[in-house]
Structure 1
Amino acid sequence: MGRTPAAPAAITQSSPQEYVLSGAWTAQGIGAVTPQLDALTTPAGQELVVDGARIEALDTAGAWVLQKFLHRLEDDAKGVRLRALRPEFGRLLEAIRQQMADQERTLAVPAIASTTPLERLGRHFEAPLQQGFALLSFVGECALALGGCIAQPTRLRWRPILYNIRSAGFDALPIVGMLSFLLGVVVAYQGAGQLRQYGANIFVADLVGLSILREFAPLITAIIVAGRSGSAYAAQIGTMSVTEEIDAMRTLGIAPLDLLVLPKLLALLIVLPLLTVFADALGVFGGMIMARTQLGVGFGDFLDRFVKAISVTAYLLGVGKAPVFAAIIAVVGCFQGFRTRGGADSVGRQTTRAVVQSIFLVIVADALFSVAFSALDL
């Protein structure tokens, strides 16, 4: 004859101060008793007795529920006494109690001791410094991967490179052209009032040419690309990191840097200088239209003065900044994507950081270029 199955777990209150436990307190048997435990009322300030003599079976799930119940009674009552529990059940219950105590100690947040202002300042800058060192390490990894691809050109994946050239370059032409044109209009319009006072209308060509070609065109192009492509890189890689696609690539022996980073980096190195040239042309054209409208400087006179005032060096200095800006945008966007952890909120957070840090570093690099060009008298 087979064994009679144990009855499900049950709890009865024989008196206001005594609880009687019975049945199988196991994973299969505690389903019905959980609502009963929540509905029980415990008299405050009295000593309670829990009778475990009728417990027929106990596993870790049942011991966990029982220990939570005892803990609740201890919070409300003056004292709790567990009576007539089998020794083996008692040892299991003690082990669960110890495990719960360890978890509470682990999750407890220690009080922050008072610190000096210098120590607080150091803690405040610790995370940015760690992220800076991680970024430098990532730059080194990208340089090694790029060197490996140069040594072995067959490692290059041309289809992703061409795709990124289209998405980051060709698709960005409308917004880059529109903003550059408007920027040229604004520069010429703001300078028109001052030039008109001194009868120096023709020098609007110098103002528009130098400001657009050397500074505004490469800078505004880099900022637009950072907002469009840098955020897209961080979101794409971050999503792949969250869904563990990057780990799957490593398992298959595919280097994530070769597949995800280098095509984006090489594509931006190609398209950003071309976008800068496009922005130069549209910005100067906007300045020409405003010069004719506000100052009466015709297109022919403007171009004649523009050719004399703007040297090839000034043009090349502006275009020469573009590859540096491209490297910053691609590396920072991909770096923040790889640092994504958790869920969708982390993807959004890292995408925001990628855009902010890219624009910040682009402006810092542009300032350093200005200082260096001034020191070299360029």
Structure 2
Amino acid sequence: MQSPPSLPGTLQLHTAAGRACLRIAGDWTLAHYATLRDAVARMRPQLGADSTVELEQLGALDTAGVGLLVELLGAQRIAEVAQWAPQLPPERLALLRTVATALARPDVAQPRAGYEFGDLLAHIGRTMQNLWQQQRELLGFIGLTLQTLLTNLARPRRWRLTALVAHIEQTGLNAIPIVALLTFLVGAVVAFLGATVLADFGASIYTVTLVGFAFLREFGVLLAAILLAGRSASAFAAQIGSMKANEEIDAIRTLGLSPVELLVLPRVLAMLITLPILTFIGMLSGILGGGVVCVLALDISPTLFMTILQRDIDVSHFLVGIGKAPVFAFLIAVIGCLEGFKVSGSAQSVGEHTTSSVVQSIFMVILIDAIAALFFMEMGW
């Protein structure tokens, strides 16, 4: 036997007990969508808010038909169908409520125009809260890194010497040309400025002391650290972030291995080795750049230049500068690795956290250097 033909749904508006009553009958399915849509458009202006609805003669029903009923009666009324049409089968009531809830469009408050003072304070508050959260995460990650480092010091078999040597080459050997060139040029600029200012006082000879003092205490380590923050911190964040996006970090944990031990420690140790070396190279290059200017522009012989450095510059200035290098190296490496672990999985997230690693590293280097300068000045070192 063939199934009876599907009859399109109908809408009939009549009066019962002095009130308008809408009788919905027939099949409300996708096959009759065009016909039903026209019927709904004609009936909607005639239907009042207090009209009753009868669903006893409702035939087949699918999501397309429910959508038209929601358009006719409203999402709120369809969502409450169990209250005014309890005779419907449970599965049909569930379908009506589900589609009505999905199609409901809550009123969204329009954003206020302009930028008020309260919004400014709220923005400042959110920024400070995010900054505090970043510092807490950084302190926690530093503690985890130190714990893993101390644990592995007593177990030489777990040292990853191959990865360590590879990172030393990437962060140190490949960075020597740019560090040497930049510090040489900055040393020449400092010597030019010093000679220009000191010449008015007849003290051009002190340009030698200025160059030596500046590069041994500050510029050598600061320029090398900033360059490595741009080169290595961004590379660490991008490398680990890409591994996080490709779920390689999860694979490492699944194998029972520690991502901190495999990925963080070789990078941290490589930076602890390379930044002091680059700092020493930066000091020599900066002093050499200043020496070239003194020889060419101030008629100071190389022998006199070296004699003044040896006589007036104490070795404590070199120790102050080189002593800050391991601290900067540790912070740069840890910040770069931490931002890599924060990547959520998209290419945009990798870019954002790579940028954040460079900004945070440079900020922390300059901040710690300023605090150290004030401390050493008060201590008379």
The two structures share one fold, judged by TM-score above 0.5? yes
Classify 1:117/1:275 alpha carbon distance in 2 versus 1 (closer, same or farther; 3 Å). closer
Aligned pairs for 1:183-194 within 5 A: 183-194=186-197
1:42 and 2:45 equivalent?
no
| Residue type at the aligned position of 2:140 | S
Unaligned runs of 5+ in 1: none
Give the corresponding residue for 1:208.
211
Residue 115 of structure 1 and its aligned partner are, at CA, apart by 7.8
| Counterpart for residue 343 of structure 2 | 340
Aligned mate of 2:223, from 220, 243, 266: 220
- In structure 2, do the counterparts of structure 1 residues 278 and 21 end up closer, same or farther at CA, with 3 Å as the change threshold? farther
Take 2:124 and 2:39, find their aligned partners in 1: how far apart are those partners? 52
Q: Under a length normalisation based on structure 1, what TM-score does the superposition of the two structures give?
A: 0.81
Q: Which residue of 1 aligns with 2:16?
A: none
Distance across 2 between alignment mates of 1:111 and 1:11: 44
Secondary structure (helix, strand or coil) at the match of 2:144 reads: helix
Residues 67 and 96, structure 1, Cα contact 8 Å, conserved in 2: no
- In the alignment, residue 155 of structure 2 is paired with which amino acid? Q
Quick one: distance in 2 between partners of 1:258 and 1:35? 65
- Matching residue of 1:367: 370
| 1:325 aligned residue (311, 325, 328) | 328
**Is 1:165–2:129 an aligned residue pair?**
no
**Equivalent residue for 2:150?**
147
Cα gap change, 1:109 to 1:134, in 2 (>3 Å): farther
| Greater radius of gyration (CA) | 2
Q: Distance in 2 between matches of 1:35 and 1:283?
A: 81
Distance in 2 of aligned mates of 1:151 and 1:36: 81
Q: CA deviation at 1:317?
A: 1.2
Q: 1:34 to 1:155 in 2, by over 3 A?
A: farther
Q: CA deviation at 1:198?
A: 2.8
**Alpha-carbon displacement from aligned partner over 1:319-377 (angstroms, at most 9, x marks no partner):** 11110000110111111111122411111111111111111110111011112211221
Q: Any idea what the Cα deviations from partners look like across 1:77-134, whole Å, max 9, x if unmatched? A: x999999996144232145147638x978x979999x989988865552222122212
> Does the Cα contact within 8 Å between 2:26 and 2:59 map onto a contact in 1?
yes
Residue of structure 2 aligned with 1:283, choices 286, 307, 316: 286
- The answer to whether structure 1 residue 72 and structure 2 residue 71 are counterparts is yes
Matching residue within 280, 291, 295 for 1:292:
295
- CA offset digits 1:147-185 (Å, max 9, x no partner): 111121221211111111111111111211111111101
In the alignment, the residues of structure 1 paired with residue 286 and residue 70 of structure 2 have an alpha-carbon distance, to the nearest angstrom, of 73
Matches within 5 A, 1:243-254: 243-254=246-257
Q: 1:37 to 1:53 in 2, by over 3 A?
A: closer
Moved more, 223-232 or 307-316: 307-316
Report the alpha carbon displacement of residue 277 of structure 1 after superposing the two structures with TM.
0.7
Cα 1:291–1:66 change in 2 (3 A) is farther
- Contact preservation (8 Å) 1:21, 1:50: no
* Residue in 2 that maps onto 1:90: 92
Identity of aligned residues (%): 36
Maintained 8 Å contact 1:37/1:69: yes
Partner of 1:198: 201
Looking at structure 1, the residues matched to 166 and 329 of structure 2 have their Cα atoms a distance apart, in angstroms, of 16
2:70 and 2:78 in contact (8 A); partners too: no
Instruction: Map 1:118-129 onto structure 2 (within 5 A).
Output: 122-129=125-132
- In 1, the alpha carbon distance for the partners of 2:278 and 2:109 equals 52
- Partners of 2:232 and 2:71 lie apart in 1 by 55
Where in structure 2 are the equivalents of 1:6-45 lying within 5 Å? 22=27, 42-43=41-42, 44-45=44-45
For residues 50 and 182 of structure 1, do their structure 2 counterparts lie closer, same or farther at Cα, with a shift above 3 Å needed?
Answer: farther
Question: Could you tell me whether the CA contact under 8 Å between 2:187 and 2:289 is conserved in 1?
Answer: yes
The 3 A distance-change label for structure 1 pair 296 and 115 is closer
1:137 correspondence with 2:140: yes
Counterpart CA distance in 2 for 1:98 and 1:351 is: 44
Structure-2 separation of matches of 1:263 and 1:142:
11
Q: Across the two proteins, how many residue pairs are aligned to each other?
A: 360
Asked whether the 8 Å contact 1:53–1:83 carries over to 2, the reply is no
Matched, 1:309 2:312: yes
Residue identity opposite 2:47 in structure 1? E
Rounded Cα–Cα distance in structure 2 between residues aligned with 1:131 and 1:72: 49
Alignment correspondent of 1:100: 102
Comparing 78-87 and 342-351, the one that deviates more: 78-87
Change (3 A) 1:67 1:133: farther
TM-score (norm 2): 0.80
